[in-house]
Amino acid sequence: MKKLFTLLFAAALLVACNNTKTDKVETDPATIGMYVQNDTDKPIYWHRTWGMQAKDVMDTIQPGKGLLLQSNTQPPQGATSFIGTINPPEGVQPGGPENGSWNYEWAFNGGNTPIINYANEGGSPSADCPATATKNNAKWAYYAKWSNGKCYKSTEPFTSLTDTLTFTTTVWPKP
């Protein structure tokens, strides 16, 4: 009996070790994307509520670096937020804010075209698009510039997968 068990175990092990079959995992293609360039002097932290096949994806973009952020949220009900936490520039006077926020939410409005549901309306301390630094009495501000020069608003279609968004920071009010 012991020899039979050993023989069966060895046969199972041999079969398992020779199994080279791999299953190909399919992924839905990206539906939303942007390349983020960090031209500040501190890291920018990102949270994507839906990334590529995963929820709550966290990324860090170091100063002087860039990263392609994508999501494959799907129509007609899919949605995702890209939330950036921007740090103040070196040497800024204490008083705030401690960090800044940038937030866009994309969704599908019943069709196949992604639209912007929320276009950083509360982003602060933003120097422009929208300008919130002065009304919030900020000691610093960030600029977020799209490579195509647009200032996107809520309900606009957004079909790019690679537009570049570049972040810079400055003391505020600007000297």
Please count the structural domains in the chain.
1
Span 56-74, average pLDDT = 95
Question: Is residue 36 in some structural domain?
Answer: yes
Domain at 138, CATH number? 2.60.270
Chain centroid to CA 136: 25
Question: Per-residue confidence at 1, pLDDT binned at 50, 70, 90?
Answer: low
Span 144-167, average pLDDT = 89
Question: Is residue 38 in some structural domain?
Answer: yes
67/82 Cα distance (integer angstroms): 13
Question: Per-residue confidence at 3, pLDDT binned at 50, 70, 90?
Answer: low
Question: Is residue 23 in some structural domain?
Answer: no
49/81 Cα distance (integer angstroms): 5
22-39 per-position pLDDT tens digit: 555 577 888 889 999 999
Question: Per-residue confidence at 171, pLDDT binned at 50, 70, 90?
Answer: very high
What is the structure's pLDDT at 25?
56
Question: Is residue 61 in some structural domain?
Answer: yes
CA diameter of the chain: 88
Cis peptide before 114 (omega within 30 of 0): no
Q: Does residue 26 sit in helix, strand or coil?
A: coil
The pTM for the full model equals 0.81
In terms of pLDDT, which residue wins out, 90 or 160?
Answer: 90
Expressed as residue numbers, the domain containing 150 is 30-171
What is the structure's pLDDT at 7?
54
Question: Is residue 49 in some structural domain?
Answer: yes
